[in-house]
Amino acid sequence: MSYLRPFYAKVYAVVSKIPKGKVATYQQVARLAGNSKAFRAVGTAMKNNPDMKTIPCHRVVGSDGRMHGYSAGEGVNTKITMLTDEGVTFVGDRVQLAISQWKG
């Protein structure tokens, strides 16, 4: 998987720019990192995040606003709590992307 390292570096650079109170979708991050079809690779990059303090992987969500895994704390519940605390708007269990999606 060493061939993915340059792409992961781009993904981490994109995700590190997502501001508090905003989210980006996996597909959006993939596009901004240079390969719009690599959204699953973005998920793998988030799973293997080397520095959660500077790369806010909890701010990456599905294109439908749903949570798709989180490895810290209590998983998705922790992700939802972190996003809520940052001011991200939810409707039920989905982020309201019209309000909270980063335009990066």
Write out the E strands in 5-102.
Answer: 24-25, 60-61, 90-91, 94-95
Cα separation, 26 vs 37, whole angstroms: 10
Structure confidence at residue 3 (pLDDT):
54
Report the predicted TM-score, pTM, of the whole model to 2 decimal places.
Answer: 0.92
pLDDT of residue 74: 77
- Render each residue's pLDDT in the chain as its tens digit; 104 residues: 555 689 999 999 999 999 999 999 999 999 999 999 999 999 999 999 999 999 999 999 999 999 987 777 777 889 999 999 999 999 998 999 999 999 98
Nearest to 87 by CA among 59, 68, 63: 59
Of all residues in the chain, what percent are helix, strand and coil, respectively (each to 5)?
A: 45, 10, 45
Spans of all domains in the chain: 2-100
Distance CA 97, CA 88 (A): 9
Whose tokens are 């409707």? That residue is: 91
Instruction: Give CA–CA dist 96/52, Å, rounded.
Output: 23
* Topology at the third CATH level for domain 2-100: Arc Repressor Mutant, subunit A (1.10.10)
pLDDT score for 2: 59
Residues assigned a catalytic role? 57
